[in-house]
């Protein structure tokens, strides 16, 4: 049980609960799925289930939409921001390896 409480990817939230937490409609959450921001897991009965990580992504999308960005554009922005952050992380890691490597003549 503790593993599930600590797991950012565990699909603990129903669509209704996720919408309530975020202050959005279920339709907004379905729109995020359609825009490919993330794909929620499904319960045995076929109902969407959301993780804490997905709720954070949805909150970012809601913030952008609240600022006037179209939903699909907001999702694309989030995807690109996350890809850039990952590329920067990899670049920094590689730079540290280069900096730590002994010099060769």
Structure tokens at 28: 């907004």
What does the DSSP 8-state code read for residue 85? H
Residue 2's pLDDT band, with cuts at 50, 70 and 90, is low
The answer to whether the CB of 9 falls within 8 A of the CB of 38 is no
pLDDT of residue 56: 96
Structure tokens at 96: 């540290």
* Digit-coded pLDDT (tens) for 31-88: 999 999 999 999 999 999 999 999 999 999 999 999 999 999 999 999 999 999 999 9
Residue 1's pLDDT band, with cuts at 50, 70 and 90, is low
**φ, ψ dihedrals at 54, nearest 5°:** -65, -35
């Amino acid at each position: 049980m503790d593993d599930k409480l600590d797991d950012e990817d565990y699909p603990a939230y129903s669509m209704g609960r996720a919408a309530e937490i975020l202050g959005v409609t279920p339709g907004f959450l379905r729109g995020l799925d359609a825009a490919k921001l993330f794909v929620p897991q499904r319960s045995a009965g076929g109902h969407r289930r959301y993780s804490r990580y997905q709720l954070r992504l949805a909150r970012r999308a809601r913030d952008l939409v609240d600022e006037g960005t179209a939903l699909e554009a907001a999702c694309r922005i989030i995807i690109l921001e996350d890809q850039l952050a990952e590329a920067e992380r990899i670049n920094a890691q590689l730079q540290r390896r280069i900096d730590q490597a002994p010099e060769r003549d």
